[in-house]
Amino acid sequence: MTHAFHATILREYDIRGIIGETLGAEDARAIGRTFGSMLREAGGSRVAVGYDGRVSSPMLEHALVEGLTASGCNVVRIGLGATPMLYYAEASDHDIDGGIQITGSHNPPNYNGFKMVFQGRPFFGADIQELGRRAAAGEWTDGAGEVEKRDIIDEYVHRMLTALDAIDSEALSDMRIGWDAGNGAAGPALEKLVAQLPGEHHLLYTDVDGTFPNHHPDPTVEENLADLRKLVSAKSLDFGIAFDGDGDRIGAIDGEGRVIWGDQLLMIYSEDLLQTLGGATIIADVKASRALFDHVTAHGGEPLMWKTGHSLIKSKMKETGSPLAGEMSGHVFFADEYYGFDDALYAGVRLIAASARLGKSVTELRGAMPQLVNTPEMRFQVDESRKFAAIKEVEDRLAGTDADVNGTDGVRVSTPDGWWLLRASNTQDVLVARAESDSEEGLARLMAQIDEQLALSGLERGESVGH
């Protein structure tokens, strides 16, 4: 027996497709069989499995478990929950060797996919390609694994609450916070979490509904924060927190309704953390603001710019021993007093903790940040065969100039006006662009440089496309 996956679903960081078109039960069964075989050959045998609230998730979970047990792996089913709850199950139990979460993350309701952990590390890139190769060749182990169910939600919530243990309860009890679960998989854990948090809490859309009837579950798109903004304004709350569909990405607004973007959240977290861990390395992706890197330096930390992609960031954290990392996309990783995976619920608790320890409201912390002018992340279609070649052409042209170029992930160019970025997406046939300046005029000059480089490669920005 062999299995060939649709060419589009084996992505850089996960496996993801459209139900009934590119992804179905047979794919899930083959993923389980192949992942389980790879794990057994590496000396592992127990896999935790969880799933998000999408309509197709229970069907995929059933088939995935069949595949895992057929490889000889034993399965610990943790049921419906946020992706970080699956990561927690894998990280906190030394008898569990791997984990798979069925989730479509922030994609439309007809998408679904798989995020995987293999012996404590992200399973991505070459791992996923090898899984595809082995499935096509039918290189599988055989066995009859056993299945057990485990309810870990209470344990998971209790573990997150330890972030507030050493904080004065009076500083916490005055806080008034809004939360928007977006009908995603984080809803049940959020309800249990806020029931035990000090302060006053107002919740939106905690019932899990895979059709996402209220708004799309992507908190990095400002229009999806509209309901949270109304709640914070109507109730005069201190700030608001939102989650994506599977609870591994955080979005936030302050008491005045201003968005606190991923790099700005990292500014708050790093200021808090560096009070006790001076000199620590703080990692952010190449799309992050210069203000973040300057802020880390100003508070005694070592900023490190790294490649975009949650699996790449997690791997770099392990390599450097960094206690904190994050991305513009809202993935925040705490290895300080936690496990180093991206957990938006825990990041919400740490925002509460940071505000209390710093003795400043989230609105004050947001208001003190430099008033820079920047573009959103712009994504535009470029043929798959051209995207990496085009970035290489830009690199080669700039190499012959006195431009200040950082080539960590694509091309990030610093000028007296600020900086601009061009990089190829690892997951789509798009180029990603971003620019930041301290003035509108400077931003216009930076955008002109991007357009000039694209034109020299026979490309143009055109309409920005979605994720």
> Which of the residues are catalytic?
105
Architecture of domain 373-456: 2-Layer Sandwich (3.30)
Task: List the chain domain ranges.
Answer: 15-152, 162-367, 373-456
Architecture of domain 15-152: 3-Layer(aba) Sandwich (3.40)
Closest CA to 38 of 107, 129, 112, 109: 129
CATH topology of domain 162-367: Alpha-D-Glucose-1,6-Bisphosphate; Chain A, domain 3 (3.40.120)
83 within 8 A of 247, measured Cβ to Cβ: yes
372 within 8 A of 440, measured Cβ to Cβ: no
pLDDT by residue, tens only, the chain of 467 residues: 899 999 999 998 899 999 999 999 999 999 999 999 999 999 999 999 999 999 999 999 999 999 999 999 999 999 999 999 999 999 999 899 999 999 998 888 999 999 999 999 999 999 999 999 999 999 999 999 999 999 999 999 999 999 999 898 888 999 999 999 999 999 999 999 999 999 999 999 999 999 999 999 999 999 999 999 999 999 999 999 999 999 999 999 999 999 999 999 999 999 999 999 999 999 999 999 999 999 999 999 999 999 998 889 999 999 999 999 999 999 999 999 999 999 999 999 999 999 999 999 999 999 999 999 999 889 889 988 899 999 999 999 999 899 999 999 999 999 999 999 999 988 788 999 999 999 999 999 999 999 999 999 999 886 655 55
Q: Do domains 162-367 and 373-456 have the same CATH topology?
A: no
CA separation for the pair 344, 190 (Å, rounded): 10
Q: How confident is the model over 66-89, as pLDDT tens digits?
A: 999 999 999 999 999 999 999 999
Q: How confident is the model over 286-337, as pLDDT tens digits?
A: 999 999 999 999 999 999 999 998 889 999 999 999 999 999 999 999 999 9
240 within 8 A of 231, measured Cβ to Cβ: yes
CA separation for the pair 247, 82 (Å, rounded): 5
pTM for the predicted model, two decimal places: 0.95
First to last CA, the chain: 35
**Taking CA 83 as the corner, what is the angle to CA 79 and CA 89, rounded to the nearest 5 degrees?**
65
The pLDDT score that the predictor gives to residue 227 is: 98
The pLDDT score that the predictor gives to residue 286 is: 97
Q: For strands 46-51 and 98-102, give the pairing.
A: parallel
CA separation for the pair 440, 420 (Å, rounded): 14
Structure token pair of residue 310? 């949650």
- The mean pLDDT of the chain is 95
The pLDDT score that the predictor gives to residue 428 is: 80
Q: Which helix (H) or strand (E) holds 17?
A: strand 15-18
- Provide the edge-to-edge strand list for the sheet that holds 332-334: 302-306, 281-285, 324-326, 332-334
- Kindly give, in sequence order, each residue whose CB lies less than 8 Å from that of residue 394, ignoring residues fewer than 6 positions away: 411, 422, 453, 456, 457
- Kindly give, in sequence order, each residue whose CB lies less than 8 Å from that of residue 41, ignoring residues fewer than 6 positions away: 141
- φ, ψ of residue 346 to 5 degrees: the values are -65, -40
